[in-house]
Amino acid sequence: MRVIIADHPLITHKLTILRDEQTPPPTFRLLVEELMTLLAYEATRDVRVESVEIQTPVARTTGVRLSRPAPLIVPILRAGLGMLEGMVKLLPTAEVGFLGMKRDEQTLQPATYAERLPDDLAGRQCFVVDPMLATGGSLAAAIQFLFDRGAEDVTAVCILGTPEGISTMREAVGQHNVTLVLGALDEGLDESSYIVPGLGDAGDRLYGTID
Ligand SMILES: O=P(O)(O)OC[C@H]1O[C@H](OP(=O)(O)OP(=O)(O)O)[C@H](O)[C@@H]1O
Ligand SMILES: O=c1cc[nH]c(=O)[nH]1
Ligand SMILES: [Mg+2]
Protein backbone atom coordinates (compact mmCIF):
# COMPACT_ATOMS: atom_id res chain seq x y z
CA MET A 1 0.00 0.00 0.00
CA ARG A 2 1.31 3.39 -1.02
CA VAL A 3 0.79 6.14 1.58
CA ILE A 4 0.86 9.80 0.54
CA ILE A 5 0.74 12.46 3.22
CA ALA A 6 -0.09 15.84 1.76
CA ASP A 7 2.48 18.41 2.70
CA HIS A 8 1.12 21.79 1.69
CA PRO A 9 0.75 24.99 3.73
CA LEU A 10 -2.77 25.62 2.42
CA ILE A 11 -3.90 22.18 3.59
CA THR A 12 -2.31 22.70 7.03
CA HIS A 13 -3.92 26.16 7.27
CA LYS A 14 -7.40 24.80 6.50
CA LEU A 15 -6.84 21.79 8.78
CA THR A 16 -5.99 24.09 11.68
CA ILE A 17 -9.37 25.83 11.40
CA LEU A 18 -11.10 22.47 10.97
CA ARG A 19 -9.55 21.11 14.17
CA ASP A 20 -10.54 24.18 16.23
CA GLU A 21 -13.48 23.28 18.48
CA GLN A 22 -14.85 26.81 18.00
CA THR A 23 -15.37 26.28 14.25
CA PRO A 24 -19.13 26.05 13.62
CA PRO A 25 -20.76 23.41 11.36
CA PRO A 26 -21.28 25.66 8.28
CA THR A 27 -17.56 26.57 8.20
CA PHE A 28 -16.60 22.98 9.04
CA ARG A 29 -18.65 21.66 6.09
CA LEU A 30 -17.10 24.18 3.71
CA LEU A 31 -13.56 23.31 4.85
CA VAL A 32 -14.12 19.56 4.50
CA GLU A 33 -15.22 20.09 0.91
CA GLU A 34 -12.30 22.41 0.15
CA LEU A 35 -9.78 20.01 1.73
CA MET A 36 -11.18 17.18 -0.37
CA THR A 37 -10.65 19.21 -3.52
CA LEU A 38 -7.04 19.89 -2.55
CA LEU A 39 -6.43 16.22 -1.64
CA ALA A 40 -8.12 15.12 -4.87
CA TYR A 41 -5.24 16.67 -6.77
CA GLU A 42 -2.90 14.06 -5.19
CA ALA A 43 -5.46 11.26 -5.20
CA THR A 44 -6.17 11.52 -8.94
CA ARG A 45 -2.55 11.73 -10.07
CA ASP A 46 -2.88 8.26 -11.69
CA VAL A 47 -6.45 8.58 -12.91
CA ARG A 48 -6.78 6.80 -16.25
CA VAL A 49 -7.07 8.98 -19.34
CA GLU A 50 -7.18 8.38 -23.08
CA SER A 51 -5.98 10.55 -25.96
CA VAL A 52 -8.38 12.79 -27.75
CA GLU A 53 -7.74 14.98 -30.77
CA ILE A 54 -9.23 18.48 -30.79
CA GLN A 55 -9.12 21.61 -32.88
CA THR A 56 -8.15 24.81 -31.06
CA PRO A 57 -8.88 28.15 -32.78
CA VAL A 58 -5.27 27.91 -33.97
CA ALA A 59 -4.35 24.28 -34.66
CA ARG A 60 -5.20 20.62 -34.24
CA THR A 61 -3.71 19.09 -31.11
CA THR A 62 -3.92 16.00 -28.95
CA GLY A 63 -5.16 16.12 -25.37
CA VAL A 64 -6.70 13.65 -22.95
CA ARG A 65 -10.07 12.85 -21.42
CA LEU A 66 -11.04 10.56 -18.55
CA SER A 67 -11.15 6.93 -19.73
CA ARG A 68 -14.23 4.72 -19.56
CA PRO A 69 -15.45 3.01 -17.49
CA ALA A 70 -15.87 6.13 -15.36
CA PRO A 71 -14.19 6.12 -11.95
CA LEU A 72 -16.35 5.21 -8.94
CA ILE A 73 -16.40 7.44 -5.86
CA VAL A 74 -17.58 5.83 -2.62
CA PRO A 75 -18.20 8.08 0.40
CA ILE A 76 -18.51 6.27 3.74
CA LEU A 77 -21.63 7.73 5.40
CA ARG A 78 -22.15 9.89 7.28
CA ALA A 79 -18.92 11.84 7.46
CA GLY A 80 -17.64 10.85 4.00
CA LEU A 81 -20.67 12.56 2.47
CA GLY A 82 -19.08 15.89 3.41
CA MET A 83 -16.19 15.11 1.03
CA LEU A 84 -18.26 13.92 -1.93
CA GLU A 85 -18.95 17.27 -3.59
CA GLY A 86 -15.26 18.27 -3.40
CA MET A 87 -14.33 15.09 -5.31
CA VAL A 88 -17.17 15.15 -7.84
CA LYS A 89 -16.18 18.70 -8.82
CA LEU A 90 -12.86 17.36 -10.11
CA LEU A 91 -14.26 14.12 -11.57
CA PRO A 92 -17.62 15.22 -12.98
CA THR A 93 -18.09 12.04 -15.05
CA ALA A 94 -17.51 9.75 -12.06
CA GLU A 95 -20.28 7.51 -10.73
CA VAL A 96 -21.05 7.38 -7.02
CA GLY A 97 -21.64 4.33 -4.81
CA PHE A 98 -22.52 4.47 -1.12
CA LEU A 99 -21.52 2.66 2.04
CA GLY A 100 -23.16 3.52 5.37
CA MET A 101 -21.06 2.50 8.37
CA LYS A 102 -21.20 3.25 12.07
CA ARG A 103 -18.38 2.37 14.44
CA ASP A 104 -19.66 0.79 17.67
CA GLU A 105 -18.01 3.02 20.25
CA GLN A 106 -17.69 0.08 22.75
CA THR A 107 -16.39 -2.72 20.53
CA LEU A 108 -14.90 -0.32 17.88
CA GLN A 109 -16.27 -2.68 15.20
CA PRO A 110 -17.91 -1.01 12.17
CA ALA A 111 -21.53 -1.98 11.46
CA THR A 112 -22.67 -1.59 7.84
CA TYR A 113 -26.24 -0.21 7.58
CA ALA A 114 -26.29 0.75 3.89
CA GLU A 115 -24.60 -0.58 0.78
CA ARG A 116 -25.25 0.56 -2.78
CA LEU A 117 -22.39 -0.43 -5.07
CA PRO A 118 -22.15 -1.80 -8.63
CA ASP A 119 -21.96 -5.63 -8.58
CA ASP A 120 -18.89 -5.73 -10.82
CA LEU A 121 -15.95 -3.41 -10.15
CA ALA A 122 -13.40 -5.18 -12.34
CA GLY A 123 -11.46 -2.59 -14.30
CA ARG A 124 -12.95 0.36 -12.37
CA GLN A 125 -10.79 2.88 -10.54
CA CYS A 126 -12.38 3.34 -7.11
CA PHE A 127 -11.99 6.30 -4.74
CA VAL A 128 -13.18 5.82 -1.15
CA VAL A 129 -13.59 8.98 0.90
CA ASP A 130 -13.93 9.33 4.68
CA PRO A 131 -12.39 12.16 6.72
CA MET A 132 -11.23 9.94 9.60
CA LEU A 133 -8.88 6.93 9.64
CA ALA A 134 -8.77 6.11 13.38
CA THR A 135 -8.40 2.38 14.22
CA GLY A 136 -8.82 1.70 10.50
CA GLY A 137 -11.65 -0.79 11.04
CA SER A 138 -14.23 1.16 9.00
CA LEU A 139 -11.98 1.84 6.00
CA ALA A 140 -10.65 -1.74 5.98
CA ALA A 141 -14.23 -3.08 5.93
CA ALA A 142 -15.17 -0.60 3.19
CA ILE A 143 -12.37 -1.62 0.85
CA GLN A 144 -13.19 -5.30 1.47
CA PHE A 145 -16.64 -4.60 -0.08
CA LEU A 146 -14.80 -3.27 -3.16
CA PHE A 147 -12.33 -6.20 -3.36
CA ASP A 148 -15.29 -8.63 -3.08
CA ARG A 149 -16.71 -7.03 -6.25
CA GLY A 150 -13.45 -7.39 -8.15
CA ALA A 151 -11.91 -3.94 -7.61
CA GLU A 152 -8.17 -3.96 -8.26
CA ASP A 153 -7.32 -0.29 -8.09
CA VAL A 154 -8.48 1.58 -4.98
CA THR A 155 -7.50 4.99 -3.65
CA ALA A 156 -8.66 5.97 -0.16
CA VAL A 157 -8.69 9.63 0.83
CA CYS A 158 -8.86 10.66 4.49
CA ILE A 159 -8.33 14.10 5.99
CA LEU A 160 -6.72 12.72 9.17
CA GLY A 161 -5.06 9.37 9.84
CA THR A 162 -3.11 7.58 12.56
CA PRO A 163 -0.19 5.13 12.57
CA GLU A 164 -2.63 2.52 14.02
CA GLY A 165 -5.03 3.08 11.12
CA ILE A 166 -2.26 2.73 8.56
CA SER A 167 -1.16 -0.61 10.13
CA THR A 168 -4.73 -1.96 10.04
CA MET A 169 -5.00 -0.89 6.42
CA ARG A 170 -1.68 -2.50 5.43
CA GLU A 171 -2.88 -5.81 6.85
CA ALA A 172 -6.32 -5.54 5.19
CA VAL A 173 -4.93 -4.56 1.80
CA GLY A 174 -2.33 -7.33 1.42
CA GLN A 175 -1.08 -7.40 -2.16
CA HIS A 176 -3.97 -5.33 -3.60
CA ASN A 177 -3.18 -2.10 -5.40
CA VAL A 178 -4.23 0.52 -2.85
CA THR A 179 -3.11 4.12 -2.36
CA LEU A 180 -3.92 5.99 0.85
CA VAL A 181 -3.89 9.79 0.70
CA LEU A 182 -3.93 11.68 4.02
CA GLY A 183 -4.21 15.38 4.76
CA ALA A 184 -2.17 14.82 7.93
CA LEU A 185 -0.81 11.94 9.98
CA ASP A 186 -1.78 12.55 13.62
CA GLU A 187 -0.08 11.23 16.77
CA GLY A 188 -2.42 8.33 17.51
CA LEU A 189 -5.55 7.37 19.44
CA ASP A 190 -6.82 8.28 22.91
CA GLU A 191 -8.39 5.81 25.39
CA SER A 192 -11.71 6.05 23.46
CA SER A 193 -9.93 5.50 20.13
CA TYR A 194 -10.48 9.08 19.01
CA ILE A 195 -7.74 10.63 16.91
CA VAL A 196 -5.26 12.84 18.86
CA PRO A 197 -5.13 15.78 18.36
CA GLY A 198 -7.80 15.10 15.71
CA LEU A 199 -10.95 17.14 15.34
CA GLY A 200 -13.49 15.18 17.39
CA ASP A 201 -16.35 13.28 15.78
CA ALA A 202 -16.38 14.34 12.13
CA GLY A 203 -19.96 13.16 11.52
CA ASP A 204 -21.27 15.10 14.51
CA ARG A 205 -19.37 18.24 13.55
CA LEU A 206 -20.75 18.06 10.01
CA TYR A 207 -24.33 17.02 10.72
CA GLY A 208 -24.98 17.21 14.48
CA THR A 209 -25.11 14.61 17.23
CA ILE A 210 -27.92 12.15 16.62
CA ASP A 211 -27.04 9.46 19.18
O1 LIG B 1 -11.11 4.02 11.84
P2 LIG B 1 -12.28 3.75 12.72
O3 LIG B 1 -11.87 3.46 14.15
O4 LIG B 1 -13.18 2.69 12.16
O5 LIG B 1 -13.10 5.10 12.84
C6 LIG B 1 -13.33 5.93 11.76
C7 LIG B 1 -14.79 5.97 11.40
O8 LIG B 1 -15.52 6.69 12.43
C9 LIG B 1 -16.24 7.76 11.84
O10 LIG B 1 -17.52 7.40 11.46
P11 LIG B 1 -18.64 7.08 12.56
O12 LIG B 1 -18.64 5.61 12.88
O13 LIG B 1 -18.52 8.02 13.72
O14 LIG B 1 -19.98 7.35 11.78
P15 LIG B 1 -20.58 8.77 11.31
O16 LIG B 1 -19.83 9.17 10.08
O17 LIG B 1 -22.02 8.48 11.03
O18 LIG B 1 -20.43 9.76 12.43
C19 LIG B 1 -15.40 8.12 10.63
O20 LIG B 1 -16.09 8.91 9.70
C21 LIG B 1 -14.97 6.78 10.13
O22 LIG B 1 -15.90 6.16 9.27
O1 LIG C 1 -11.41 10.82 16.11
C2 LIG C 1 -12.33 10.19 15.55
C3 LIG C 1 -12.36 8.78 15.53
C4 LIG C 1 -13.39 8.15 14.88
N5 LIG C 1 -14.34 8.91 14.27
C6 LIG C 1 -14.31 10.27 14.29
O7 LIG C 1 -15.20 10.92 13.73
N8 LIG C 1 -13.31 10.87 14.93
MG1 LIG D 1 -19.27 9.79 13.89
Is residue 76 lining ligand 1, measured as CB closer than 6 Å? yes
Determine whether 45 is an active site residue.
Answer: no
Identify the structural domains of the chain with CATH numbers, from first to last: 2-48+65-207 (3.40.50.2020)
Annotated binding residue at 103?
yes
Determine whether 201 is an active site residue.
Answer: yes
d(CA 20, CA 51): 45
What is the mean pLDDT of the segment spanning 39-45? 96
pLDDT, one tens digit per residue, over 154-208 is 999 999 999 999 999 999 999 999 999 999 999 999 999 999 999 999 999 999 9
Q: How does residue 7 score in pLDDT terms, banded at 50, 70 and 90?
A: confident
Is residue 178 lining ligand 2, measured as CB closer than 6 Å? no
Distance 49 CA to ligand 1 centre (A): 33
d(CA 97, CA 87): 13
| Catalytic residue chosen out of the listed positions 56, 62, 107, 209 | 107
What integer pLDDT is reported at residue 138 of this predicted model? Answer: 98
Q: Are 33 and 39 in contact (CB under 8 A)?
A: no
Distance 129 CA to ligand 1 centre (A): 11
Annotated binding residue at 209?
no
Q: How does residue 210 score in pLDDT terms, banded at 50, 70 and 90?
A: confident
Sign of the Cα pseudo-torsion (192, 193, 197, 202, in order): negative
What is the mean pLDDT of the segment spanning 27-45? 97
What integer pLDDT is reported at residue 211 of this predicted model? Answer: 74
DSSP per residue, 14-32:
HHHHHH-TT--HHHHHHHH
- The whole-model pTM stands at 0.96
